[in-house]
Amino acid sequence: MARYAARRGYAETSLRNWAAAEGSLKREPGLVRLVVAPPTRDREIVMEVGVARIRVTATFDAELLRAVVAALSAGVST
């Protein structure tokens, strides 16, 4: 607890007092439910292959993207 408090700028005694008042020092660790949020559409990257621009969103199809990049790369001279 001392390292946790120090890394966050708290006094260890303050953190212990809060935990004791809240009751978490006496309870057994519990389980929490983890809910994974669906990907959002606003996260994306834009790739440029030659003169082509490809917008890749969070829900892209990796196999299709590889095929598109390979096809576009075949026509690009380096």
Domain boundaries, the chain: 1-28, 44-74
Helix (H, G, I), strand (E, B) or coil at 53: strand
Q: What is the distance between the terminal CA atoms of the chain, rounded to a whole angstrom?
A: 56
* pLDDT band at residue 50 using 50, 70 and 90 as cut-offs: confident
Beta bridge partners, 16, equal: none
Whether 43 and 58 have beta carbons less than 8 Å apart is answered as: yes
Helix (H, G, I), strand (E, B) or coil at 68: helix
Structure confidence at residue 63 (pLDDT): 93
- Give 4-25 pLDDT, tens digit per residue: 788 888 888 887 888 777 766 6
Per-residue pLDDT, averaged over 39-44, amounts to: 71
Structure confidence at residue 52 (pLDDT): 82
Helix (H, G, I), strand (E, B) or coil at 26: coil
Q: pTM of the predicted model, to two decimals?
A: 0.39
